[in-house]
Amino acid sequence: MYVADDKRYDSMQYRRSGRTGIKLPAISLGLWHNFGGVDNFENSRAMLRRAFDLGITHFDLANNYGPSYGSAEETFGQILKKDFLPYRDELIISTKAGWDMWPGPYGDLGSRKYMLASLDQSLKRMGLEYVDIFYHHRPDPDTPMEESMGALDTAVRSGRALYAGISAYNAKQTSEAVKILRDLGTPLLIHQPKYSMFVRDPEQGLFDVLEKEGVGSIVFSPLAQGLLSDRYLKGIPSDSRAARDFFLKKKDLGEATLAKVRALNEIAGQRGQTLAEMAVAWVLRDPRVTSALVGTSKVSQVDDNVAALRNLKFSAEELRKIDGVLAGK
């Protein structure tokens, strides 16, 4: 029987999500990959156990994580039942709806019908009465935002979720969502944008909106799908995502990009970090970032990501060098 490490809270850092009562671990674990029905169950279980033993209290899912769709939630539900039920009140569990989930016009995007039906399905798969955070996974250009935000409000008021979140909304859309939810009486807890050294869009207004409105942020893909790790320092490994053209594409790995990766790796070495550790530390350097959402495929990678917390400080010169590399100088 699993018993959590009694020192699990000794070294993890926790950051307040905007101006709310919720603190999240600086490192959160995402179940986008490696927790589906096609993956090794015991490996998935071992990664979740190790994460919690290191103080990672937040596990992030979505309705269509797998493969197959829904299977990551099913896997998590089994592990929750076997290992984590005694610790349920120590966990932040999130899920999302917004991408394609089932056939037909009611299984995608942002209608009230889709979002609430999806949440009910997610709760059933995980064996939960509620999730801590329910996200709208992406804005729907064809559905009034009042409808999508109203669904989040209903999810919270009905007790199926404790907090509302959004993902992939731009700065203007986020401002609108914040106002709608505030008027409904269900403040927005958190935004989940994509952010890394190679994807800096949130710096162009989004982080400013979140800071002004008191909303937290949990950034996904801080390693740029593994590009900001030692995996591609010598080219494209045959078993990598890039080799399979899987999210990270071969066309994105030209010599200019790989030269930047190697130069960043040199800076990381000077800091006494691996490139992956520096990449995670870099996103966390901004106080507007509540948590870095990482993905792992083996237990050792959980430790590797948490190791980034040993050195989160960057000198002005280090940041100048990093910006120079990213600008191709």
183 burial class (0-12, 13-18, 19+ CB within 10 angstroms)? Answer: exposed
Q: Model-level pTM?
A: 0.95
Max Cα separation, the chain?
54
Q: How confident is the model at residue 232 (pLDDT cuts 50, 70, 90)?
A: confident
Rounded Cα distance between 197 and 322, Å, is: 9
Round to whole Å and give the CA distance between 76 and 216.
Answer: 25
pLDDT tens readout for residues 51-89: 999 999 999 999 999 999 999 999 999 999 999 999 999
The whole-number pLDDT of residue 105 equals 97
Give burial (CB, 10 Å; 0-12/13-18/19+) of 7.
Answer: exposed
Report the mean per-residue pLDDT for the chain.
95
Question: Can you give the pLDDT at residue 117?
Answer: 99
**Residue 236 pLDDT > 60, yes or no?**
yes
Q: Which of the 8 DSSP states describes residue 182?
A: H
Q: Provide the pLDDT confidence category of residue 20 given band limits of 50, 70 and 90.
A: very high
Each residue's pLDDT tens digit, 110-166: 999 999 999 999 999 999 999 999 999 999 999 999 999 999 999 999 999 999 999
User: For position 247, what pLDDT does the model report?
Assistant: 59
Q: Is the pLDDT of residue 245 over 60?
A: no
Question: What is the band of 234 on the pLDDT scale with cuts at 50, 70, 90?
Answer: confident
What integer is the mean pLDDT of 290-318? 98
Written as one string, the DSSP assignment of 137-158 is: -S--TTS-HHHHHHHHHHHHHT
pLDDT of residue 239 exceeding 80, the answer is no
CA distance 222 to 250: 19
**DSSP states of 239-289:** TSTTTTTBSB-GGG--HHHHHHHHHHHHHHHHTT--HHHHHHHHHHTSTT-
Contact 291, 28 (CB under 8 A): yes
d(CA 304, CA 282): 15
Section 14-32 average pLDDT = 98
Is residue 10 pLDDT above 80, yes or no?
A: yes
pLDDT at 329: 81
Q: CA-CA distance, 199 to 279, in Å (whole number)?
A: 12
Give the pLDDT of residue 231: 84
Taking residues 283-289, what's their average pLDDT?
Answer: 98
Residues 6+ apart with CB under 8 A from 194: 168, 201, 202, 219, 220, 221
Cis preceding-peptide flag for 202 (omega within 30 of 0) = no
| pLDDT exceeds 60 at position 241 | no
From residue 121, give the alpha-carbon distance in Å to each of 4, 48, 66, 71, 97. 29, 22, 15, 12, 11
Q: Could you give the 3-state DSSP secondary structure of residue 59?
A: strand
